[in-house]
Amino acid sequence: MVREFQDLNYWTIILGGSSGLGFASALKLAKHGMNICIVHRSGRAEMEAIEANFDLIKAHQVQFLSFNADVVKQETRAKILTVLEEKLGKEGKVRCLLHSIAKGNLKAMVDDSRILEADDFQITLQNMAISLYDWVKDLYDAKLFASDSRIISFTSEGSSKAWKHYAAVSVAKAALEAITRNLALEFAPYGLRANCIQAGVTNTASLMRIPGSDQLVQYSIKRNPFKRLTTPNDVANIVYLLCKDEAAWINGAVIPVDGGEHIS
């Protein structure tokens, strides 16, 4: 296996990388020599499984940092970036910032015991969209980005389609795409490329939290040309491709990674 990032002292920061798409992407990049920094928010009961995942990353002989912290707090970002800057030294740079935060409210708008409120929109929007800009800005101000860096985030068809209980997340995904387009425009002169991956329906813990997810899975398999769900590895492969030098001219795109699920 070619480890093209091994000698470059490149790092990827993954927001929400302890499981699911974020972890699969971390593992794929580590296999190719990318150093990994994961910021996640996890409870004590989850940590045994998470530490086992982190051991798989470390097994690829890359440098590794992890922080169990709230990604939306400015003081948290400042502390993490201070540690990261010391770890990078003079030669290390952040090649990729991967946004994989799945903290959102899944409540109905009407006729339910838990009704969606304005605060639910704000919390979801802050975590799943605005936090991307906050991290990009702070990394840029700290001069930690490489001269050719990649900003990647995960969106879904829910950014443009209505699903029950998905309103707050839908708003956040639409905002995430809009923020990404503007990052792609305004930071291009400084070497940043920003893109969204629109993953197909993937069997992750986040999917299982959506009410009616069983029906969504069945429908997705039926409409997919390959008659299967998207896997975390499918998505991780495209994260890796976007980090390669050859992907430098992809900027401001929403890229479907779903085997053609979106065409039917």
Which range marks the domain in which residue 85 is found?
A: 10-259
Q: What is the dihedral of CA 161, 166, 171, 175, to 10 degrees?
A: -80
Chain position carrying tokens 């992890």: 66
The C-alpha atoms of residue 119 and residue 127 are separated, in whole angstroms, by: 12
Alpha helices in the chain (DSSP H): 20-31, 47-58, 74-88, 118-125, 131-141, 167-186, 205-208, 213-223, 232-243
Chain position carrying tokens 């050859």: 246
The residues pairing with 154 across neighbouring beta strands, listed in sequence order, are 197
Any domain includes 83: yes
The C-alpha atoms of residue 69 and residue 230 are separated, in whole angstroms, by: 29
> What is the pTM (predicted TM-score) of this model?
0.94
CATH number of 137's domain? 3.40.50.720
Question: Residue 207 corresponds to which tokens in the numbers above?
Answer: 């999917």
Chain position carrying tokens 């299982």: 208
Report yes or no: 217 and 201 within 8 Å, Cβ to Cβ: yes
Any domain includes 236: yes
Structural domain total, the chain? 1
Any domain includes 4: no
Any domain includes 128: yes
The C-alpha atoms of residue 182 and residue 130 are separated, in whole angstroms, by: 12
Q: List the chain pLDDT tens, one digit each, 264 residues.
A: 789 998 899 999 999 999 999 999 999 999 999 999 999 999 999 999 999 999 999 999 999 999 999 999 999 999 999 999 999 998 999 999 999 998 877 788 887 778 889 998 899 999 999 999 999 999 999 999 999 999 999 999 888 888 788 888 999 999 999 999 999 999 999 999 999 999 988 877 776 676 667 877 888 899 999 999 999 999 999 999 999 999 999 999 999 999 999 998
